[in-house]
Chain A
Amino acid sequence: MNPEQFQPRRRLFFRMLAGTGAVLVAGCDKLSRTEWFPKFLSNTEILTRKAQRVVLPRKSMAQEFEEKDRSPEFRSNGTAMPDNPQYKALAASGFTGYRLEVGGLVEKPAGYSLDELRALPSRTQITRHDCVEGWSAIAKWKGVPLTALLEAAKPTAAARYVVFHCADPMESDGTSPYYESIDMDDAYHPQTILAYELNDKALPVVNGAPVRLRVERQLGYKHAKYVMRIELVDTFEKIAGGKGGYWEDQGYEWYAGI
Chain B
Amino acid sequence: MRVEVGSNPGEFMEQASSTKDGAKDYLYYRHKLPVRVMHWINVVALTILLMSGLNIFSAHPALYWGKSSYTGRAPILQIESTTDANDRMTGVTRIFGHEFVTTGVLGASRGLNGELMNRAFPSWLTIPDGRWLSMARQWHLFFAWIFVINGLAYVAYSIVSRHLSRDLAPTGADLRSIRQSIVDHLHFRHPSGEVSKRYNVLQKFAYLIVIFVLLPLVILMGLAMSPGFDSLWPGWVDIFGGRQSARTIHFIVAWLLVAFVLIHVFEVIITGVWNNLRSMITGRYRVDAEVGK
User: Do A and B share a complex?
Assistant: yes
Question: Counting CB contacts under 8 A, is A233 at the interface?
Answer: no
Q: Would you call A48 and B141 a contact (CB within 8 A)? A: yes
A45 to B144, CA, bound (A): 12
Q: Are the C-beta atoms of A63 and B60 separated by less than 8 Å?
A: no
Tell me the dominant secondary structure on chain B's binding face.
Answer: helix
Is the CB–CB distance between B67 and A216 below 8 Å?
no
Choose one: B60, B135, B142, B232; the contact of A60 (CB below 8 Å): B232
CB proximity to A under 8 Å, residues B95-129:
124, 127-129
Q: Are A132 and B231 in contact (CB under 8 A)?
A: no
Contact A135 B141 (CB under 8 A): no
Closest to A222 in B: B227
Q: Which residues of chain A from 52 to 71 have any CB-CB distance to chain B below 8 Å in the complex?
A: 52, 55-56, 60-65, 69, 71
In the docked arrangement, what's the CA distance between A44 and B143, Å? Answer: 9
Q: How large is the interface on B (under 10, 10 to 19, 20 to 34, 35 or more residues)?
A: 35 or more
Interface residues of A in 36-50 (CB under 8 A from B): 38, 41-45, 47-48
Q: Knowing A71-B70, A138-B68 are in contact, say whether A29-B127 is a contact too (CB < 8 A).
A: yes
- Alpha-carbon distance between A61 and B277 when the two chains are bound, in angstroms: 49
Q: Contact between A136 and B137 (Cβ–Cβ < 8 Å)?
A: no
Choose from B57, B141, B243, B293 the contact partner of A128 (Cβ within 8 Å). Answer: B243
Find the B residue at minimum CB distance from A218. Answer: B227
B169 within 8 Å of A by Cβ? no
Interchain CA distance A250-B223 in the complex, whole Å:
24
A25-B124, A63-B237 known; A257 and B226 CB under 8 Å?
yes
| Cα A13 to Cα B278 with chains together (Å) | 12
Would A130 and B227 count as touching, CB distance under 8 A? yes
Mostly, the A contact residues are: loop
- Give the residues in chain B near A201, CB-CB below 8 Å: none
Inside 8 A of A44's CB, which chain B residues have their CB? 138, 141-142, 145
- Is A133 among interface residues, defined by CB-CB distance under 8 A? yes
Q: Which residues of A contact B234 (CB under 8 A)?
A: 60-64
Pairs across A and B, CB under 8 Å, 9 listed: A25-B51, A28-B51, A29-B129, A44-B138, A55-B232, A56-B228, A216-B227, A217-B231, A257-B229
A interface vs B, CB < 8 Å? 1-3, 6, 9-10, 13, 24-25, 28-29, 32, 38, 41-45, 47-48, 52, 55-56, 60-65, 69, 71-75, 128, 130-138, 216-219, 247, 250-253, 256-258
4 smallest A-B Cβ distances: which pairs?
A257-B228, A71-B70, A251-B134, A134-B60
Which B residues are within 8 Å of any A CB, using their own CB? Answer: 47-48, 51, 56-57, 59-60, 62, 67-72, 124, 127-129, 132-135, 137-139, 141-142, 145, 223, 225-232, 234-235, 237-238, 243-244, 247, 269, 272-274, 277, 293
Seed contacts A52-B226, A71-B70, A252-B134; 11 additional CB < 8 Å A-B pairs: A10-B269, A32-B132, A44-B145, A45-B141, A62-B234, A63-B230, A63-B235, A64-B234, A131-B60, A216-B231, A217-B231
